[in-house]
Chain A
């Protein structure tokens, strides 16, 4: 299995500031992938960003970037220039290369952006 740990139950950030949401993972696989999903209060799961274990560069998608530190087994999400609409639950998830598509989720971090 793959264990995903999110140690921050809640985070607060002021609008326009950057925020980092922590995620660590534990796997013995060489091939794996890491995801971040956003879940707003409406409940849907929105894919944000993906990082493969063999990717040479950190993934970026608009205001989202993934700070991937393989040796430390961390895959932190960085949101630059926070917006009020970023307030949501954020989940880190991982999959193993040997188990196609099965995702293991962390418990989530509730992000609140204040004006």
Chain B
């Protein structure tokens, strides 16, 4: 079955370190997204991609970057981790142009100490 997987599921890192969260989907979807979830804020969009070599900033993109070298993967990089980036991160994908459902990964809980 097609799926979307995130790794790692849990990570603890130190302030200032570079961290990369992986997202891999086998749906062959063009659209991929990264969200962060914080109490009181719901999910907020960090970055997104509509296809290979395409990347775009979301509403909370500062301190994050993504790259899309193939259809399946959209890794999220924290250039220099900060305590404010402690959060749960969700990757999602959806089919274009039919967008009636976005499929979410299981989430990655990141703690920056």
A and B: bona fide binding partners: yes
**Given known A-B contacts A35-B102, A43-B88, A102 and B96 have beta carbons under 8 A apart:** no
Contact with B along A75-115 (1 / 0, CB 8 A): 00000000000000001010100001111111110000000
Which of B11-19, B36-44, B62-70, B73-81 forms contacts with chain A?
B36-44
Across the interface, which residues of B come within 8 angstroms of A50, CB to CB? 100-101
Across the interface, which residues of A come within 8 angstroms of B88, CB to CB? 43
Contact with A100, one of B42, B59, B97, B101 (Cβ below 8 angstroms): B97
Contact with A along B26-40 (1 / 0, CB 8 A): 000001010100001
Q: How many residues of B contact A (CB 8 A)?
A: 27
**Given known A-B contacts A44-B106, A45-B90, A101 and B48 have beta carbons under 8 A apart:** yes
Across the interface, which residues of B come within 8 angstroms of A1, CB to CB? 59
Across the interface, which residues of B come within 8 angstroms of A103, CB to CB? 33, 35, 43, 45, 92, 102
Q: How many residues of A contact B (CB 8 A)?
A: 23
B42 touches A91 (CB 8 A): yes
Tell me the complex Cα distance, A50–B98, Å: 12
A45 touches B104 (CB 8 A): yes
User: Shortest Cβ distance from B112 into chain A, in angstroms?
Assistant: 19
Contact with B along A47-64 (1 / 0, CB 8 A): 100101000000000000
Across the interface, which residues of B come within 8 angstroms of A44, CB to CB? 104, 106-107
Residues of A whose CB lies within 8 Å of any CB of B are: 1, 4, 33, 35, 37, 43-45, 47, 50, 52, 91, 93, 95, 100-108
Residues of B whose CB lies within 8 Å of any CB of A are: 31, 33, 35, 40-45, 48, 50, 58-59, 88, 90, 92, 94, 96-97, 99-104, 106-107
Please list 23 pairs of residues, one from A and one from B, whose beta carbons are closer than 8 Å in the complex, sorted by A's number: A4-B42, A33-B100, A35-B101, A35-B102, A43-B106, A43-B107, A44-B107, A47-B102, A50-B101, A52-B100, A91-B43, A93-B43, A95-B99, A101-B31, A101-B94, A101-B102, A103-B33, A103-B35, A103-B102, A105-B42, A106-B42, A107-B40, A108-B42
